[in-house]
């Protein structure tokens, strides 16, 4: 299944936002919660990289979508 630029432009900010939340949990006082957040963060980072690759491969100058660097800067 291929995601469209519209899909990607919505998912990329959501995944990056969730990574921020997980990062705060990595520093939690509860060791189990911190470990779980670390493990899940790795999966989210892999997903974020895949979404980035897909976005960059589909994006073109003159599209109605921002370049990837602009998209993530707006977060």
Q: pTM here?
A: 0.88
Residue 74 in this model has a pLDDT that exceeds 80: no
Reading the block at residue 1, the tokens are: 């299944």
Distance of CA 49 to the CA centre of its chain: 7
Residue 4 in this model has a pLDDT that exceeds 90: yes
Distance of CA 35 to the CA centre of its chain: 20
Nearest alpha carbon to residue 19 among 37, 41, 39: 41
pLDDT value of residue 34: 94
- 22-47, pLDDT tens digit by residue? 999 999 899 999 999 999 999 999 99
Set out the domains of the chain in order of their start, with CATH numbers.
5-73 (1.10.287)
pLDDT value of residue 75: 64
In whole angstroms, give the CA distance from residue 75 to residue 73.
5
């Amino acid at each position: 299944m291929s995601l469209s630029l519209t899909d990607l432009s919505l998912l990329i900010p959501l995944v990056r936002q969730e990574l921020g939340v997980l990062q705060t949990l990595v520093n939690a006082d509860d060791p189990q919660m911190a470990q779980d957040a670390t493990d899940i963060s790795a999966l989210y980072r892999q997903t974020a990289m895949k979404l980035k690759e897909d976005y960059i491969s589909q994006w073109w100058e003159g599209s109605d979508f921002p370049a990837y660097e602009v998209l993530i800067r707006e977060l």
